[in-house]
Amino acid sequence: DAGITQSPRYKITETGRQVTLMCHQTWSHSYMFWYRQDLGHGLRLIYYSAAADITDKGEVPDGYVVSRSKTENFPLTLESATRSQTSVYFCASSDGQVGYQPQHFGDGTRLSIL
């Protein structure tokens, strides 16, 4: 399903470096989300966006920055990466507020911080 794409798929970086994960969707969905997935924790919401230029924190926002200048893009930036941010990151989108429209996920980015 090419509707939502994430890049890169794999990334290795060092502590203290800045890294940006990209998310692009072609559906013109209004809502976009960033989750991290860690063993034993399931999926935890980092940030979400209801529309261009509207973003809000999720459950675990510390250490992350997002922006949404265009509806189709929702990049996630780790300003100074730490080892605890090693994880698999999933972007998702939905056509309307969750509870009324389902979320669809990208293929994920596996991020390792050494």
**Residues near another protein (CB under 8 A):** 40-45, 48, 58-59, 90, 97-100, 102-108
Q: How far is the CB of 112 from another protein (least distance, A)?
A: 15
Residue with smaller CB distance to another protein, 48 or 64:
48
**Distance (Å, whole) CA 94 – CA 56:** 15
Closest CA to 34 of 78, 91, 84: 91
Residue with smaller CB distance to another protein, 12 or 14:
12
Residue with smaller CB distance to another protein, 18 or 26:
26
Q: How far is the CB of 82 from another protein (least distance, A)?
A: 23
Radius of gyration of the chain (CA): 13
